[in-house]
Amino acid sequence: MRSLVFLPAAEADIEAIWDYSADRWGEDQADRYTDDIRDLCEALARGDRSGRPVDVRPGLLKCRVASRMVYFRSEAERIVVVRVLHSAQDVGRNL
């Protein structure tokens, strides 16, 4: 299994997702949603899931979890999670 690294922007995205979800649907749902995001990232590191290329940023891959897209780099020894954005967000402006 490769190591899993979250860049500060990705960590901030996950925290913001939790805050929004907790306000909107409660803490239990916020926990489940952010756990699903982290579980997907762990699956990427294990090689159980893969991503698709990101057109606007060569070298980046993306993978969907619910209404979010996880943007990451796949390196020889690690998966680097760059951002976790809502699928409606402008990717070019936010990466």
Instruction: Render pLDDT for 5-34 as a digit per residue (tens, 0 to 9).
Output: 999 999 999 999 999 999 999 999 999 999
Q: Residue 2: pLDDT above 90?
A: yes
Angle between helices 8-25 and 27-46 (to 10 degrees): 150
Q: What is the pLDDT of residues 28-85, one digit of tens each?
A: 999 999 999 999 999 999 999 999 999 988 999 999 999 999 999 999 999 999 999 9
Q: Which two three-digit tokens encode residue 4?
A: 């899993």
- Structural domains in the chain plus CATH codes: 3-88 (3.30.2310.20)
Task: Note the pLDDT of residue 95.
Answer: 87
Q: Which residues of 79-89 are buried (b: 16+ CB within 10 A; e: fewer)?
A: bbbbbbbeeee
pLDDT score, position 5: 98
The answer to whether the predicted template modeling score (pTM) of the entire model surpasses 0.85 is: yes
Residue 92 binned pLDDT confidence (cut-offs 50, 70, 90)? confident
For tokens 């929004």, name the residue: 20
